[in-house]
């Protein structure tokens, strides 16, 4: 890349002419597409923010001036311009540079960020720190329109507006969230776009911000002019920039939702390099949903801005009609809304990723569990993975299972998942959370329909000496451990606990008779999780209990295989640990 090869920091960019910078813009788009086509990643948001990023680094003096990127979905051009172009050009660089801002990578990044709606609050903190230390640099938050709907962003905006000193909020308005936007906020953004920013009814001005509108965020000169005008401001300022998601790559311009994030693809036409195929839980869930809604008009699916995670594409959303509500990125609202839907006699199912259900602890506890409304929540992707540190899905069991009144179910097979879902939807007694399994496995025996007898575990195989209590996605692992133990002459009892929120005291008591070791297996952090409750039950008892699962730690793009070795989560390692315990005094 003629220009990028020579841009090692924003200082190198500042030396160029405007027309050279436009060449840089073109190279950045190529670099973004190069990375995304090879390893997958965020496409549309990054292609849309190129000129804004160039203007920011031309006008401001990063890292003295501090730019905070919301959610990081649009941080690639910034990374490219701050010494990390290699992460977008070479396969080796791609391994080292993540898709999210990360202070460990560069002084130009201030936070590890992968959840939405945090940038304004974080920028407020940096700005207040600047003021207390008597410094004078600029602090800039860059937030997409989709992220604006999250409560934290709104709290941040309200506080930024009364900071009493300078802060700049760039609202990158590409007219969509991951999917389309939902919420009154977007009513106002549309009005502002349609009036070239001149409508008197302006939420940002209402809060007290100075407000500037840039109709074409791809007009580099206009962007630079606007930013120069606010540089060094002593006031809270919003710059509302209208951009095009996917700008410069036809497939991404046309299919904006599909190209928000993309698996590796052929650059020529955008087709994926590997086609996903076969049975999956999204199709299974949708089939259940659409059938159930035909029979029961009170069933309603709720989602908070990530319908794609659940395969709820535009066609399916249309088909579900009034029985699907996307509340935008607003997980807290989604839980309260679902609780009230249930109170109002409907049957809501809120679909949410494990990493994002973290945003709803108080809503789960206060708005839902205390009120014991029979809303259903389906948590996806729960389990140990090689994900970015900001997207780990290992905390949902400690998060949810220690809240009273909630029933957290861990199905192990397709049939059990559907049966649990159907029971949960129709029952009237409990808030129920279901942890969507990760592997598509079919039940060989008949599956129970009624889960109202809480905390009754299911014995799948009876044995002696060792009992394996293997929850949800780790039930198959439990079965493999049983196989390993059998090779060593130990026929263990194998149990599917089904309920993550309680202990089967009758069964656990009965196990004492013929067992000396209990091993619990769960696909998440052990600290505060399911297994510890089993261990506590046997606390004053001679029973030896081993808890298998993830360590309480943040991991960042560490391969699952490595983590399984580290945590002793292979069948062989688990069996060995069990046998050691069995044979020790």
Q: For residues 470 and 410, what is the distance between their CA atoms, to the nearest angstrom?
A: 10
For residue 358, which of 530, 69, 115 has the smallest C-alpha distance?
A: 115
Question: Could you tell me the smallest distance in angstroms from the CB atom of residue 195 to its own copies?
Answer: 12
Q: For residues 346 and 496, what is the distance between their CA atoms, to the nearest angstrom?
A: 31
Question: Could you tell me the smallest distance in angstroms from the CB atom of residue 31 to its own copies?
Answer: 27
Indicate the residue among 89 and 301 with the shorter CB distance to its own copies. Answer: 301
Indicate the residue among 220 and 300 with the shorter CB distance to its own copies. Answer: 300
Q: Which one of the spans 115-123, 256-264, 278-286, 473-481 is the region binding its own copies (CB under 8 A)?
A: 115-123
* Contact pick of 13, 21, 124, 320 for its own copies (by CB under 8 A): 124
Q: Which one of the spans 177-185, 429-437, 455-463, 473-481 is the region binding its own copies (CB under 8 A)?
A: 177-185
Indicate the residue among 12 and 553 with the shorter CB distance to its own copies. Answer: 553
* Contact pick of 18, 103, 442, 488 for its own copies (by CB under 8 A): 103
Q: Which one of the spans 284-292, 410-418, 453-461, 521-529 is the region binding its own copies (CB under 8 A)?
A: 521-529
Could you say whether residue 64 binds its own copies (CB under 8 A)? Answer: no
In degrees and rounded to multiples of 5, residue 2 shows phi and psi of: -55, -45
Residue 559: burial class (beta carbons within 10 Å; 0-12, 13-18, 19+)? exposed
Could you say whether residue 529 binds its own copies (CB under 8 A)? Answer: yes
For residue 76, which of 115, 116, 37, 45 has the smallest C-alpha distance?
A: 45
Indicate the residue among 80 and 113 with the shorter CB distance to its own copies. Answer: 113
Could you say whether residue 162 binds its own copies (CB under 8 A)? Answer: yes
Q: Between the CA of residue 373 and those of 248, 327, 338, 340, 360, what are the distances in Å?
A: 48, 20, 9, 8, 16
Q: Which one of the spans 8-16, 148-156, 218-226, 417-425 is the region binding its own copies (CB under 8 A)?
A: 148-156
Interface characters, 248-287, with its own copies (x: CB under 8 A): ----------------------------------------
Could you say whether residue 62 binds its own copies (CB under 8 A)? Answer: no
Q: For residues 415 and 38, what is the distance between their CA atoms, to the nearest angstrom?
A: 36
Tokens of 312: 């709820």
Indicate the residue among 155 and 253 with the shorter CB distance to its own copies. Answer: 155
Secondary structure (DSSP) of 102-149: -TTT-TT------SSS-HHHHHHHHHHHHHHTT----EEEEEEGGGGG
Q: For residues 320 and 445, what is the distance between their CA atoms, to the nearest angstrom?
A: 32
Question: Could you tell me the smallest distance in angstroms from the CB atom of residue 555 to its own copies?
Answer: 9
Question: Could you tell me the smallest distance in angstroms from the CB atom of residue 266 to its own copies?
Answer: 34
Could you say whether residue 122 binds its own copies (CB under 8 A)? Answer: yes
Indicate the residue among 337 and 499 with the shorter CB distance to its own copies. Answer: 337
Could you say whether residue 203 binds its own copies (CB under 8 A)? Answer: yes
Q: Which one of the spans 170-178, 183-191, 271-279, 557-565 is the region binding its own copies (CB under 8 A)?
A: 183-191
- The three-state secondary structure class of 381 is coil
Could you say whether residue 194 binds its own copies (CB under 8 A)? Answer: no
Question: Could you tell me the smallest distance in angstroms from the CB atom of residue 119 to its own copies?
Answer: 9
Q: Are the C-beta atoms of residues 119 and 140 closer than 8 Å to each other?
A: no
In degrees and rounded to multiples of 5, residue 461 shows phi and psi of: -155, 135
* Contact pick of 536, 561, 565, 572 for its own copies (by CB under 8 A): 536
Indicate the residue among 258 and 424 with the shorter CB distance to its own copies. Answer: 424
Could you say whether residue 531 binds its own copies (CB under 8 A)? Answer: yes
Question: Could you tell me the smallest distance in angstroms from the CB atom of residue 484 to its own copies?
Answer: 18
Question: Which of the residues 386 through 415 are near its own copies (CB under 8 A)?
Answer: 389-390, 395, 398-399, 401-405
Question: Could you tell me the smallest distance in angstroms from the CB atom of residue 579 to its own copies?
Answer: 12
Question: Could you tell me the smallest distance in angstroms from the CB atom of residue 500 to its own copies?
Answer: 11
Q: Which one of the spans 21-29, 160-168, 249-257, 259-267 is the region binding its own copies (CB under 8 A)?
A: 160-168
Indicate the residue among 344 and 483 with the shorter CB distance to its own copies. Answer: 344
Cα-Cα end-to-end distance for the chain: 66
16 conformational bin, left if phi > 0, alpha if psi -120 to 50, beta if neither: beta
Indicate the residue among 358 and 464 with the shorter CB distance to its own copies. Answer: 358
Question: Which of the residues 294 through 353 are near its own copies (CB under 8 A)?
Answer: 297-298, 300, 322-323, 325, 327-328, 330, 332-333, 336-346, 348
* Contact pick of 57, 73, 79, 115 for its own copies (by CB under 8 A): 115
Question: Could you tell me the smallest distance in angstroms from the CB atom of residue 344 to its own copies?
Answer: 3
Indicate the residue among 361 and 564 with the shorter CB distance to its own copies. Answer: 361
Q: For residues 245 and 302, what is the distance between their CA atoms, to the nearest angstrom?
A: 25
Could you say whether residue 547 binds its own copies (CB under 8 A)? Answer: yes
Tokens of 104: 């460990």
Question: Could you tell me the smallest distance in angstroms from the CB atom of residue 271 to its own copies?
Answer: 34
What dihedral do alpha carbons 125, 128, 129, 133 form, nearest 10°? 180
Could you say whether residue 568 binds its own copies (CB under 8 A)? Answer: no
Q: Between the CA of residue 384 and those of 350, 428, 556, 580, what are the distances in Å?
A: 22, 32, 11, 25
Could you say whether residue 363 binds its own copies (CB under 8 A)? Answer: yes
Q: Are the C-beta atoms of residues 466 and 493 closer than 8 Å to each other?
A: yes
Query: What does the angle CA 427 – CA 432 – CA 434 come to, to the nearest 5 degrees?
Result: 120
Q: For residues 580 and 568, what is the distance between their CA atoms, to the nearest angstrom?
A: 13
Q: Which one of the spans 118-126, 309-317, 459-467, 565-573 is the region binding its own copies (CB under 8 A)?
A: 118-126
Tokens of 380: 């996806």
Q: For residues 547 and 444, what is the distance between their CA atoms, to the nearest angstrom?
A: 27
Q: Are the C-beta atoms of residues 181 and 260 closer than 8 Å to each other?
A: no
- Torsion sign (Cα): 11, 14, 20, 22: positive
Could you say whether residue 146 binds its own copies (CB under 8 A)? Answer: no
């Amino acid at each position: 890349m003629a220009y990028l090869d020579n841009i090692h920091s924003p200082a190198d960019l500042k030396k160029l002419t405007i027309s050279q910078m436009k060449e840089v813009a073109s190279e950045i788009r190529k670099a973004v597409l190069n990375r995304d086509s090879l390893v997958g990643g965020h496409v549309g948001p990054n292609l849309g923010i190129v000129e804004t990023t160039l203007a920011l680094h031309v006008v401001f003096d990063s890292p003295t001036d501090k730019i905070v990127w919301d959610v990081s979905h649009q941080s690639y051009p910034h990374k490219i311009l701050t010494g990390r172009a290699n992460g977008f050009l070479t396969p080796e660089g791609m391994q080292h540079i993540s898709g999210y801002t990360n202070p460990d990578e560069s002084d130009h990044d201030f936070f590890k960020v992968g959840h939405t709606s945090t940038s304004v609050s974080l920028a407020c903190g940096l700005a207040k720190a600047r003021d207390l230390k008597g410094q004078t640099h600029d602090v800039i938050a860059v937030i997409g329109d989709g992220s604006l709907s999250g409560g934290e962003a709104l709290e941040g905006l309200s506080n930024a507006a009364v900071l009493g000193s300078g802060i700049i909020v760039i609202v990158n308005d590409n007219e969509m969230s991951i999917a389309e936007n939902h919420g009154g906020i977007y009513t106002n953004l549309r009005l502002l776009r349609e009036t070239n920013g001149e409508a008197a009814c302006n939420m940002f001005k209402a809060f007290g911000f100075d407000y500037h509108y840039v109709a074409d965020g791809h007009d580099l000169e206009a962007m630079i002019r606007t930013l120069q005008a606010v540089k060094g401001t002593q006031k809270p300022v919003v710059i509302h920039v209208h951009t095009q998601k996917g700008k410069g790559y036809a497939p991404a311009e046309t299919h904006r939702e599909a190209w928000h994030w993309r698996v590796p693809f052929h650059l020529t036409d955008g087709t994926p390099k590997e086609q996903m195929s076969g049975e999956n839980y999204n199709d299974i869930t949708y089939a259940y949903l659409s059938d159930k809604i035909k029979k029961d008009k009170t069933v309603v699916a709720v989602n908070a801005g990530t319908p794609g995670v659940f395969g709820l594409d535009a066609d399916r959303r249309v088909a579900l009609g009034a029985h699907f509500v996307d509340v935008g990125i607003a997980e807290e609202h989604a839980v309260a809304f679902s609780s009230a839907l249930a109170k109002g006699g409907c049957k809501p199912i809120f679909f949410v990723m494990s990493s994002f259900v973290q945003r709803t602890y108080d809503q789960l506890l206060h708005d839902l569990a205390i009120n014991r409304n029979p809303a259903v929540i389906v948590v996806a992707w729960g389990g140990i993975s090689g994900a970015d540190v900001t997207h780990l899905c290992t905390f949902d069991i400690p998060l949810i299972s220690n809240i009273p009144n909630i029933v957290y179910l861990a199905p192990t097979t397709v049939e059990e998942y559907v049966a649990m879902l159907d029971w949960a939807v129709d029952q009237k007694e409990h808030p129920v959370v279901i942890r969507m399994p990760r592997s598509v496995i079919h039940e060989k025996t008949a599956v129970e329909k009624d889960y109202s007898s809480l905390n009754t575990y299911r014995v799948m195989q009876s044995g002696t000496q060792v009992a394996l209590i293997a929850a949800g996605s780790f039930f198959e692992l439990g079965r493999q451990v049983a196989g390993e133990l059998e090779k060593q002459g130990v026929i263990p009892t194998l149990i599917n606990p089904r309920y993550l929120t309680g202990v089967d005291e009758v069964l656990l008591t009965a196990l004492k008779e013929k067992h000396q070791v209990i091993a619990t297996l769960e696909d998440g952090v052990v600290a505060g999780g399911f297994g510890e409750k089993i261990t506590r039950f046997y606390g004053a008892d001679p029973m030896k209990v081993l808890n298998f699962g993830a360590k309480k730690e943040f991991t960042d793009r560490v391969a699952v295989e490595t983590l399984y070795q580290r945590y002793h989560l292979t069948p062989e390692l688990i069996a060995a640990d069990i046998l050691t315990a069995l044979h020790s005094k």
